[in-house]
Amino acid sequence: RLSMHGPQEPPHLPTLPLIGSLMSLRSLQPPHVLFKGLQGKYGQTYSLKMGSQSVIVVNQHRHAREVLLKKGKTFAGRPRTVTTDVLTRDGKDIAFGDYSATWRFHRKIVHGALCMFGEGSASIEKIICAEAQSLCSVLYEAAAAGIALDLSPELTRAVTNVICSLCFNSSYHRGDPEFEAMLDYSQGIVDTVAKDSLVDIFPWLQMFPNADLCLLKQCVSIRDKLLQKKYDEHKADYSDHVQRDLLDALLRAKRSAENNNTAEVSTQSVGLSEDHLLMTVGDIFGAGVETTTTVLKWAVTFLIHHPQVQRRIQEELDSKVGSGRSPQLSDRGSLPYLEATIREVLRIRPVAPLLIPHVALSDTSIGDFTVRKGTRVIINLWSLHHDEKEWKNPELFDPGRFLNNDGTSLIIPSSSYLPFGAGVRVCLGEALAKMELFLFLSWILQHFTLSVPSGHSLPSLEGKFGVVLQPAKFKVNAPPR
């Protein structure tokens, strides 16, 4: 839309009332819902000031695409916050680290290491299928014993073992104390980190309770011990000739930088210090566990609410795969309804409803609005995915919206759909996550039908907002079909 007035400031929320409304609404409405609601009064793109920090909130896909794609590099910065600094040793990771040569280099190493698993004997597909098999046998045992199961720890272990293979060439058995410790610290981190993306901008309000920061520090220190242990083990039996996993790939890059330049200083300057390696692998491990597990839990939640969707996926599985063999990645093309269901889960409950905040690296603009260097930009994916102009009944769970009229092929019905973000900061794990979601769900639904145990009510569809949007805990019945 062309403006008759040229560049202008975006509509601005009154500062003091905002603090007031944030304070009073905080417990009632999560920020992505609050920000969606404020559009009514201020328009789809508006700004607000928190302390001295300018923040722009984008609720519409054209502006979102401009920020992420067209001007992706300009908006590729990340803010520094108290909690992410604790988690990442002052931004020495990929996700919360600012735009830099180091950041680019680490993305490249990770990308290469993930591609390495595409083919070869330890291919990602084989690793995922082995975990799916083990997950199904736990479900069979529970069904035989007649117990309703909280699927969360089982799904988490399956997903963790996939990323563990890729990062550390290791895996966990049920009840492994290191795994139990990981579950604990990771939940502690999810509950406390980046909750402050808004809040720690005005620390003087002390909206961020000290107890949370304390818990975060405790959890991070436990995580760091685990990462350090893996690092020391890998360093001890590292060889230039075999690359077992991501950590080996990172160590190799560090070795080669050290050989080319004898001074330790140079590995510092390209960002291959021990801290950087640990934080990168910590990011991938953390993202690898928490995101995919969360989506699987949402998928199970919605499948329980919509047994007809579950039945249709099972019919599709029965006719395209049958019961004589297990689903494999090459079946993806022939199971469009399952794929559509996965897309719909990612739409209706985006893992990261506000992405991670972006920062303008120079003076620029969004649409007709001027944006000054240093401004934080929050892309409200929740608004994009629930935009009434783009989606019919956005609150309704309907996989069919991702299929063409005769239900035979997949479509993306609106450009207001970005579950993995886009552009220079696009998710690094998109391909991996999609493989996992497809294989785990197809294996589960080939063998079991999910429902609430009798006497229990349906699980809540309301998410708990944090660095990822998590569903509440619930139990399921999973009798074999």
Binding region for ligand PLO (CB under 6 A)? 95, 186, 189-190, 193, 223, 283, 286-287, 290-291, 351-352, 356, 467-468
Among ligand HEM, ligand PLO, none, the one that 69 touches (CB under a kind-dependent 5 to 8 A) is: none
Q: Is 102 in the site for ligand HEM (CB under 6 A)?
A: no
244: left (phi over 0), alpha (psi -120 to 50) or beta: alpha
Q: Is 439 in the site for ligand HEM (CB under 6 A)?
A: no
Among ligand HEM, ligand PLO, none, the one that 419 touches (CB under a kind-dependent 5 to 8 A) is: ligand HEM
Q: Is 95 in the site for ligand HEM (CB under 6 A)?
A: yes
Each residue of 105-134: b (16+ CB within 10 Å) or e? bbbebbeebbebbeeeeeebeebbbebbeb
Q: Is 284 in the site for ligand HEM (CB under 6 A)?
A: yes
The length of the chain is 481
Q: Which is nearer to ligand PLO, 186 or 416 (CB)?
A: 186
Q: Which is nearer to ligand PLO, 367 or 429 (CB)?
A: 429
Among ligand HEM, ligand PLO, none, the one that 295 touches (CB under a kind-dependent 5 to 8 A) is: ligand HEM
Q: Is 466 in the site for ligand HEM (CB under 6 A)?
A: no
Binding-residue pattern over the window 148 to 187 for ligand HEM, x denoting contact by CB under 6 A: ----------------------------------------
Q: Is 283 in the site for ligand HEM (CB under 6 A)?
A: yes
Q: Which is nearer to ligand HEM, 99 or 369 (CB)?
A: 99
Q: State how far the Cα of 41 lies from the Cα of 47, in Å rounded to an integer.
A: 12
Strands (E), 221-338: none
Among ligand HEM, ligand PLO, none, the one that 428 touches (CB under a kind-dependent 5 to 8 A) is: ligand HEM
Q: Is 292 in the site for ligand HEM (CB under 6 A)?
A: yes
Element housing 376 (H / E): strand 376-379
Structure letter (DSSP) for residue 70: I
Q: Give residue number: closest CB to ligand PLO.
A: 286
Element housing 382 (H / E): helix 381-385
**Which string of DSSP letters, residue by residue, matches 71-124?**
TTTTT-B----HHHHHHHTTT-SSSSSPSSHHHHHHHHHHHHHHHHTTSSTT-H
Contact residue for ligand HEM among 127, 287, 359, 445 (CB under 6 A): 287
Among ligand HEM, ligand PLO, none, the one that 384 touches (CB under a kind-dependent 5 to 8 A) is: none
Q: Is 291 in the site for ligand HEM (CB under 6 A)?
A: yes
Q: Is 356 in the site for ligand HEM (CB under 6 A)?
A: yes
Q: State how far the Cα of 341 lies from the Cα of 56, in Å rounded to an integer.
A: 32
Q: State how far the Cα of 114 lies from the Cα of 433, in Å rounded to an integer.
A: 12
Among ligand PLO, ligand HEM, none, the one that 106 touches (CB under a kind-dependent 5 to 8 A) is: none
Q: Is 421 in the site for ligand HEM (CB under 6 A)?
A: yes
List C-alpha distances in Å: 204 to 24, 192, 209. Answer: 17, 18, 11
Q: State how far the Cα of 184 lies from the Cα of 224, in Å rounded to an integer.
A: 14
Q: Is 58 in the site for ligand HEM (CB under 6 A)?
A: no
Among ligand PLO, ligand HEM, none, the one that 425 touches (CB under a kind-dependent 5 to 8 A) is: ligand HEM
Task: Please report how close the Cβ of residue 20 comes to ligand HEM at its closest, in angstroms.
Answer: 29
Task: Please report how close the Cβ of residue 366 comes to ligand HEM at its closest, in angstroms.
Answer: 15
End-to-end CA distance of the chain: 54
**Nearest of 62, 42, 70 to residue 1 by alpha carbon:** 62
Each residue of 312-333: b (16+ CB within 10 Å) or e? bbbebbeebbeeeebbbbebbe
Assign 3-state DSSP to the chain and report helix, strand, coil percentages, each to 5: 55, 10, 40
Q: Is 428 in the site for ligand HEM (CB under 6 A)?
A: yes
Q: Which is nearer to ligand PLO, 189 or 445 (CB)?
A: 189
Q: State how far the Cα of 82 lies from the Cα of 209, in Å rounded to an integer.
A: 12
Q: Which is nearer to ligand PLO, 351 or 418 (CB)?
A: 351
Q: Is 288 in the site for ligand HEM (CB under 6 A)?
A: yes
Find the part of the chain contacting ligand HEM (CB under 6 A) among 142-150, 240-248, 304-312, 425-433: 425-433
Q: What angle do CA 213, 219, 222 make, to 5 degrees?
A: 145
Q: State how far the Cα of 227 lies from the Cα of 246, in Å rounded to an integer.
A: 13
Task: Please report how close the Cβ of residue 87 comes to ligand PLO at its closest, in angstroms.
Answer: 6
Strands 364-366 and 358-359: unpaired
Q: Which is nearer to ligand PLO, 216 or 303 (CB)?
A: 216
Task: Please report how close the Cβ of residue 130 comes to ligand PLO at its closest, in angstroms.
Answer: 24
Cβ proximity of 337 and 403 under 8 Å: yes
Q: Is 281 in the site for ligand HEM (CB under 6 A)?
A: no
Positions that interact with ligand HEM (CB under 6 A): 94-95, 107, 283-284, 287-288, 291-292, 295, 346, 351-352, 355-356, 419-421, 425, 427-429, 432-433
